[in-house]
A = this chain, B = another copy of it.
Amino acid sequence: MSITLLSSNASFGGWHKQYSHASSSNQCTMRFAIYLPPQVEQGHKVPVLYWLSGLTCTDENFMQKAGAQAAAAKLGIAIVAPDTSPRGDDVADADSYDLGKGAGFYVNATRMPWAKHYQMYDYIVHELPALIESQFPVSDKRAISGHSMGGHGALSIALKNPERYTSVSAFSPICNPVNCPWGKKAFATYLGDDTSTWQEYDSSILISKASKHLPMLVDQGSADDFLHEQLTPDVLTSEAQKAGYPLTLRMQDGYDHSYYFIASFIEEHINFHGKCLGLASKAP
């Protein structure tokens, strides 16, 4: 495993860095960003929050716009922001913002030509954490969060792998992809017509079958244009209630789908994960 440093910026006493590496899961060069808090330079192994971004994003959107570094620096949490799909000239793509590059949906594609590179589920769950934990001074304690398509990714991955994460949160997640336009389009393309294979990536279905409960926090803006057609948090809430899953889902009045919403509540999400990870803020 080797990684190539692409950029480096001092940030809140720590470092924001971008790297590329050859991905065995996705069979292409992948880029990711990592925020290393100041505690790392003091010799501490820090836990990692994985952030999964939404449609059209790269590793850069969250690191530039969410303002998460302030709270991560206080608590001593590294943040890893992967890309949202495989990349490269030989990677299959679609002439659409919600399919192909920038829209991997955090699944393992089974249909060609997608299956050759679109193995984002394996990449996020296995390859990337193994890489991060071998290359950086981080512990094997992990949390996961994300926005929109990445909120779907964070919730579904945590529900399928509760032993790998201490906590999960999401902003405006696609809660029931098998029943919304974005999810149906992506799953039909990547997974094919057999909708039974879609269900293993649907958080509202997974939550109803979860054997282990993780702390789960979801924020959803009430003024989000995608709320009723694409995101449907009411389905997740309903399934969580039926299953007795301890979900905290907060409707945030007047907030939309943008990074202005994420920035407004990211400190609370970082603190939520920090508490679950056993970290105490130095701030009062």
Question: What residues of chain A have their CB less than 8 Å away from a CB belonging to chain B?
Answer: 9-13, 16, 64-65, 67, 69-70, 221, 223, 252-256, 258-261, 263-264, 267, 284
Contact = CB atoms under 8 A, between A and B. Distances in A.
A255 to B, nearest CB: 4
Contacts of A67: 67, 70, 263
Main secondary structure of the interface of A (DSSP, over half): mixed
Copies of this chain in its oligomeric complex: 2
Contacts of A254: 10
A12 B264 contact: yes
A252 B13 CA distance: 10
**Interface-central residue, A64, A254, A260, by most chain B CB under 10 Å:** A260
Given A9-B256, A65-B65, 11 more contacts: A9-B255, A9-B258, A9-B260, A9-B261, A10-B254, A10-B264, A64-B65, A64-B259, A67-B70, A69-B264, A284-B284
Nearest to A70: B67
Contacts of A223: 10
